[in-house]
Structure formats: structure tokens, C-alpha cells
Structure 1
Amino acid sequence: MSINIVDLVKNYVPQDLIAKAGSFLNESEGNVSNAVSGIIPAVLGLFASKASSSEQGAAEVLDTAKGFSNSGVLNSADTLFGNADLLSKGSSLFKGLLGDKTNSIIDSIANFAGIKSSSSGSLISMVVPLVLGLLGKHATDNNLNASAFSSFMGSQKSNILSALPSGLGSLGTVLGLSSIRDGVQQTVSNVQETAAPAYNYARETAQNAGGGAKWLLPLLLLAVIALALWYFLGKGCNNNTATSTGADTTAVAPTDTLTTVPQTPPAPAVKTLAEVTLPNGTKLQAYPGGIEDQLIQFIQSDEYKNATDSTLKEKWFNFDDLNFEFGTTKLTDSSKRQLDNIAAILKAFPDVKIKVGGYTDKKGDDAANLKLSDGRAKAVQAALKAAGVGAQVPQAEGYGETLAKVDENAPDEARAADRRTSVRLLKK
């Protein structure tokens, strides 16, 4: 049986909870119910866009969701408005994802439901923990890793988009779901373009045949409908044709599109951990070509031996399996493996020192981004200190969005490249 994540969340927001929320906020129960009907898909859309944008995004959402699930929020939903800590976390996560668009979303939902903007914000703060708690429970119950969770959330986008009330349909673009609607509209347009010539031909054929052959028109129209259905169901909805890599732009399309079998694109490469042995005999589990490999090779190279601190300033190495909970400086549990690896590398090369750098994308307030990136860099520094190599990590600094290259209005998957934590070697 297929799962609709929107319906699952709605089961955890019963009418008595809506009634309590209305009483607490001094809003009518009906208006609160309308607001929640828009908030649930809006919040789910944000997390779906984040989780399906990259495996890193999926890992961040998954770890955060499991944390909320383990907090027992699903078993105490009726007391949420008395839990200031959970409400604060819900608000922070929502703002962390939307940045400067937060207030416009809150106001849109308030106007749609006929409630105060402050009430809209409070309801969002209530729904976020419930959504994350349910996502964490679903992932745990089904033993989903980051990759499987990303696929699951991506598969739910159409359910989420269709659950947005008509008065809030424009939010699809902000939530990163508009591509679904655009794809459906494009498919319908393609069907119309494909079917129109056939329909015209059918009509002309029947007319030219005279009155005795007008019975042909319904049959020909059925053929047109069959063609349209084939296009929509076969080509439009299940188009698995591999995307061009740009290597050969002169390829000629097949002349018989009706018999062309769509080609299934190759599955994305799955990263697999491999064993790495350090000079002191310590063995690590790391991704080939990841930060561990890069650091070890560079430390042992002539380039590093001959480098000065000035030349090293431009040589940064990005963590590829280190994440933080949304909008916070708290490292996720899944980050421990790579932090332990970096600590082990520093212990194997006791003369090496590093600096930690934190970076954000352009979305949100500049000052807040700078503060967040600095806090995250120092959180990594603190974790390495706790692992026993604090003296080898004397510096940690956040750079905010100063080096971000992707526009703040770009899709989340594009902006992900600007959100990173890195290290560079020091020679002082």
C-alpha cells in the first residue's frame, strides 16, 4: 500500500489538539483547522525539498527527525503548547530553512486562514516538531538510511503539492515544489501538441468520406485519446530517458518515437567506505577520495613540506560526511565517524596543525549567517579537542556567506555547495 506522508501527519493532529490550539491562541477552531491544513504540507514541503536535494541534506533532516522522534513528541502532542523548548526549536528550524521568506509564509497562512500572524507562527512552531517526529519514526520503523530517506521524501512531493489548499498554491515555488506542477503542465501541453494534428486529420477524414462514413470519427477520436494516454502515462509520467551529458550535442532523435524504448539512466554511484591505514598502524573507515584521503596524501606530499602558511591559506579540504541539525551548531550523530577519523589522522601526524572554517549560503540574514558559521566551526574545534587533539586545532573561524557564489533564490540543491565546513593546514 502506498504511503501518503501528509495523511500520516494529519493523524497526529486530531481535532481536540486543534481545539486546544484555538483556545490557547484565542482563535476560532475552524480558522485554526484551516491554517493547519496549509501548514502541514508547507512544512513537509520544506523538509522534502531539503532531504531530496542531496544525500547531505537527507542526512541532516534524518538525524534531526530521529532526535525529535526520540524525544517522545508523538506521545505528547496534546501538551505541545506547554513545551516552550520544542516550540522554540520548531520556530528556529522553520526560519533556518526559509530565511528572509519566513515572515511572508507566516503572513500568507494567516491571511488564508483568517488568523493573526502571531498565531500562524505559533501553529507552525507546533507542527514542525510533529512532522519531524513522524518522519523520524517512519525512518526508524523502516530502517531507512540517508539515501533511502532522500528517495522517500522525493517520492512524496506530489502528495505534498496536491495537499496545499488552493489559496496557498503559490507557496509551491517557495517550498521548492513548483517543478512538479511545471512538469505536469508541460506534459499536458505536450499531449495537446501531439494529439492536435491527429485530431484534425481524423475530422478531415470523416468529413471527406461523406455522410456514410461519419461513423469513423468516433473511432478515430478513440485512437487520438489512446495516443494521448500513451504519451501522458508512458512518456510524460514515466520518462526515464537518460539526461544528456553534453558530450555529444549532434545526436539525431529516432524517427519512430512510438516504438522507441525509454532508456533507464544508470543508478547514481553509491559511496562505499573503505579501510585506510595510517602510518602509525591505525585503521580508518573512510570514503575513497574523501577528506581523509585528501588530507593524508597532502600531508605526505612535497607540496605541503615546501608550503608556507601564506600559500596554505587557499588550500581547504571540505568535510563530506559532517552535518549539523537545522539552524543550530549541534553536530549530528552521523558526524562522529568523520570527526574521529580527523582526530586519528592528527594523532598519526602530531606535528600537523589545522584551522576549521565554517561557511553558509546566501539565504537569510548576513549577520546571523556569520554567527552560525562561526559557531559551527568552533563546534568542530570543540569536538576535536574532546577527542584529544585540541592543541593541533588552535583556530576556528566562520566566514558566513562572504564566499558564497550561488544566488539566494536558487534551488536548495544548488545552494548546498556553499554550505560547508572545511579545514586547512597551518604552518606557524
Structure 2
Amino acid sequence: MAFNILDAVKGFLTPDILSRAASYMGEPETSVSKALNGLIPASLLGITLKAESGGAQAVLDAANKANNTGILNSLASAYSAGGGGIPDFAPGLLSSVLGDKVGGIANAIAQFAGVKGSSAATLVGSVVPLILGLIGKHASGNNLNASDLSGMLARQKSAFMNALPPGLNLSGVVPGVVTGAERTVHEARHAVHETTQTKVNEGRWLTPVLLGVAAIALLLYLVKGCGGHKDDDKLVSHAPVTHDTVAHTEPAAAAVTRTSMMVKLPDGTELDAYRGGIEDQLVACLNDAACTAGKDRWFDFDNINFETGSSTLTGESQKQVGNLVAILKAYPKLKIKIGGYTDKTGDAAANQKLSQDRAEAVMNAIKNSGGTSGQVTGAEGYGSQFAKIPETASDEERKVDRRISVQVREK
């Protein structure tokens, strides 16, 4: 029987994996399922176009690499508190087979399925390597060369096209796509255009920067973290959120409208928080035995803000400070450390001082609100030394390097 890559991918993404992914991203299973129904054929079309345009060997190489990473045995574990969602090797694979289509596909999926941009990024960063791994496994088992692989993808191209769901707008992302439901696509595009003015602040889709080559790196930064550095001579990593630099203040809450939720603590306290926010993520980790404390367990505040160019917390920040204090009280074994970061703009020494002052300001606010010194072990400012985005990038791009974070040292 001929190998059907569409069926192979869909068969691999079992209900258990779907459930894990939805829980990991804080999305309804129906939305994740809808996103996958669009992402799988869209990605396969992008891979096929790469092969058809002289990149068959690159596709084969990427497929073999993906297969050798063991992703076919580890995808489920990626969707766990300690799994990271996007594999470390994903950006290179995405770059080699999809190039600058990465962000466009993620944007299209986010709009189509109604999931957060970060969720679409996670799916692209984990499912595309899975697709490549399955292709690589088939190619290896059947001794396919680049020409053989290109031919196989070309023969299934029409099936990929037919599998694209109505309403998924890939215009300008994957050239030549016609789904057989052009009117639906046109209407969806029109609806998106009409609603953009009122929904630009909803934060459910990736920012326009992801439409370019920067998407490949930012997918990893946005979801998995901003790389590692030394902290107490131990390697740590952080996932980014948006916070101020020396020269600019922008409240995190002003950029997005998020979904509210109640986070329940063991002592019966219920916190008014945001789905996917620090309270949600931190409590999920504390309740998960697989989420271990230590050097690489960091969580980023998403509603801690400062007055411009200072370490003075804004009044709205007190709510999240209070929530963290409640978490500390509910988990008496929990010990944390506060870290502060800036982007690369401005003077490095001034950035380091500001990040230190801000980290200490948050630590002191926690203690003054009832957190004990025994649970809040310290604060450290790292300035811009671990920033990844170039100084010449736009302010929107550089936001991923500006944050205040909490390290779980013991739980």
C-alpha cells in the first residue's frame, strides 16, 4: 500500500497527544484540533513547494534529521510542564524547509482556529518536525533519494490541497493554493479585515514580525525561552514576556486582552488571574511532580510594570504581587528568586543597574505584602547581557528580552 503522509500524521496525533497539547497551551481541545486540521496540510504543501523548487535534498536531509532526533517517541512528553513544547532542534528544521513561510503559516492557523499566537507557534514548532520525522522514517525504510521523495510529495500534493479546510487563508503564504472553497476564504479574509480594527489588541495572533525570517528564531523565544545564562554557576533558561527598558514603559496589560480564570490553591484560596499567566503556569508546575525545581525553572510575570526609567512599581502591579504572595503561603516549601532583564538598547551598565533595582523592588514588594525572607531567597539583575534580539530591531521585537522572572529554587 502506498504511503499516505496525511493519514500517517493524523494517525500519530492521537486523542491523548491532542489532550496533552491542549492542556499544555491552555486551549480548548476543539480549537487545537481545528488548528491541526489546517496546519498539517498547510505544512505539507509548504514542504512540497520546497522540494519542487529545487530543495528536495534539503527536505530529505531535514526529514532524516528529524527522524534521528527521536521526536516520534518524544512528542507527547514535549507537551508537559517540563517538556518545553517546541524541541530545541525545531528552528533549524523550520528554516530549512519552510523559510520565511513559518510566521505566515502560524498567523493563518491562529486566525483560523482562534488560538493564541503562542499556541500556534508551539504547534508549528512541534508538528512540522513530527511531519518531517514521519517522512524521514518512510524515506529511510524505503531507501528513498531526494528525487524519489520529491515525486512522492508531488503525487500527494492534490490531497494536501483538498485537505485544507474552508476558511483557512493562506493567500500570500503558500503560493498557488486553491481550496475549492474560494468564496469561503474570501469571506473569511473580508471578515478578518473588518474585525482587525477592533481586535488588534486581543493578542490572539502572532505579531507581523513573525511573517519574516525572524519568525524562526522568535518562535523559540516566544514559547520555549530566550536561551541560557549562568546563575550561581548553573545554566538557566527563561521564557519571555514583555516589560520595560531604561527608556520605555509599556504596561503588559495594555497590549492584549486575555482570558480571565480563577486559579485555585491548596488552602482553598482562589486567585483572579489570566489563563496562561504566571499564576496559572506556576501553580500547574507546583502541582505536577514532573515539574522539578532548580536552575532552569523560571516563570515570567505578565503584569508587573514600572514607571518609565525607574524601579517604581505601578499600582496595577500590586495585584500580581499579592497573587504570588498567596501562592507562597499556600505552598510553604516553595522558595523563589527574582530575576530582572532588559533589552540591548541604552547603556549596558545602566541597564544592569536598572534590572537589579527592579528585581529588588519586586522582591521587596513581595516581602512587604506578606512573603517571608525564607521563601524569597534573593533578587538579581542581569541587564542586557542575555538579550537575544539586536539593538537595531523594532521595539516590538525587543520586548521578548525585557522581563521580570521568578525562579523556582525549591518546591
Instruction: Give the TM bin, normalised by the shorter chain.
Output: 0.3 to 0.5
Structure number with higher helix proportion: 1
TM-score by length of 1: 0.39
